[in-house]
């Protein structure tokens, strides 16, 4: 489980195709190598991935993950290339502060930016989502975009808007977003279960 509070921005160093439609992706980061344990989980721009190796290049640690065909097709991972920036978060530990909201790292779909309005030290971003996901998004509810926990500011049809504060713009990849960019979207788990219960009735 994750909280949507990004603790590092990594940089993709390499993407190498492997057998069975797998891609081996190497990401440089600022975490101590001793904490990059093989078999551990890492949220990479909102996608829960398994560390399959680690090392150091110069004085910067790196870790490797494998992305399967479904991940490559349903998320932005298939578009990553050398130099791509990636929001990183290690899994929640018992006793850690829950500052965002509960995330599984299971991306539901892509949200596409339709407008960005820059204000004094802030940005308002409007996004369009697939119709089947729009019903899970409500004003004042939570969403995760590229692994960042955000509060929904407004909803209209299949579009919604979020306000991004200066700190988030500075310490995540969201500050570089522009119109037509796609982001990994994870809807709030509570909203998903509430909708399922209503359907069951």
pLDDT, tens digit (0-9, with 9 covering 90-100), for 127-176: 999 989 999 999 999 999 999 999 999 999 999 999 999 999 999 999 99
Q: In sequence order, what are the residues at sequence separation of 6 or more whose Cβ sits closer than 8 angstroms to the Cβ of residue 49? A: 41, 42, 43, 65, 66, 67, 71, 105
- Give the predicted TM-score (pTM) of the model: 0.92
Residue 126 confidence (pLDDT) above 80: yes
When the pLDDT of each residue in the chain is averaged and rounded to a whole number, the result is: 93
Sign of the C-alpha dihedral computed for residues 54, 57, 60 and 64 taken in this order: negative
pLDDT at residue 90, as a whole number: 96
For residue 133, which of 153, 111, 149, 154 has the smallest C-alpha distance? Answer: 111
The fold of the 109-200 domain, in CATH, is Elongation Factor Tu (Ef-tu); domain 3 (2.40.30)
Q: What's the CATH code, domain 8-89?
A: 2.40.30.20
pLDDT at residue 99, as a whole number: 75
Domain ranges of the chain: 8-89, 109-200
For residue 28, which of 52, 58, 63 has the smallest C-alpha distance? Answer: 63
Backbone dihedral angles phi then psi of residue 125, each to the nearest 5 degrees: -120, 130
pLDDT at residue 193, as a whole number: 63
| CA–CA distance, 28 with 176 (Å, rounded to integer) | 19
Domain 109-200 in the same topology as domain 8-89: yes
Number of H helices, E strands in the chain: 4, 12
């Amino acid at each position: 489980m994750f909280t949507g509070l990004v603790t590092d921005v990594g940089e993709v160093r390499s993407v190498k195709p492997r057998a069975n439609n797998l891609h081996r992706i190497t990401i440089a980061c600022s975490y101590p190598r001793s904490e990059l344990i093989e078999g551990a989980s890492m949220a990479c721009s909102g996608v829960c991935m398994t560390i399959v190796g680690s090392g150091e290049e110069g004085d910067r640690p790196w870790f490797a993950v494998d992305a399967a065909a479904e991940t490559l097709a349903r998320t932005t991972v298939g578009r990553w290339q050398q130099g791509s920036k990636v929001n990183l978060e290690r899994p929640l530990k018992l006793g850690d502060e829950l500052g965002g909201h509960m995330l599984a790292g299971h991306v539901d779909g892509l949200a596409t930016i339709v407008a960005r309005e820059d204000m004094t030290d802030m940005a308002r971003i409007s996004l369009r989502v697939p119709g089947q996901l729009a019903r899970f998004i409500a004003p004042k509810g939570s969403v995760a975009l590229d692994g960042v926990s955000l509060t929904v500011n407004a909803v209209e049809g299949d579009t919604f808007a979020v306000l991004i504060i200066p700190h988030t713009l500075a310490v995540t990849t969201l500050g570089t977003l522009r119109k037509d960019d796609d982001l990994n979207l994870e809807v709030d788990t509570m909203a998903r279960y509430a909708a399922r219960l209503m359907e069951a009735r």
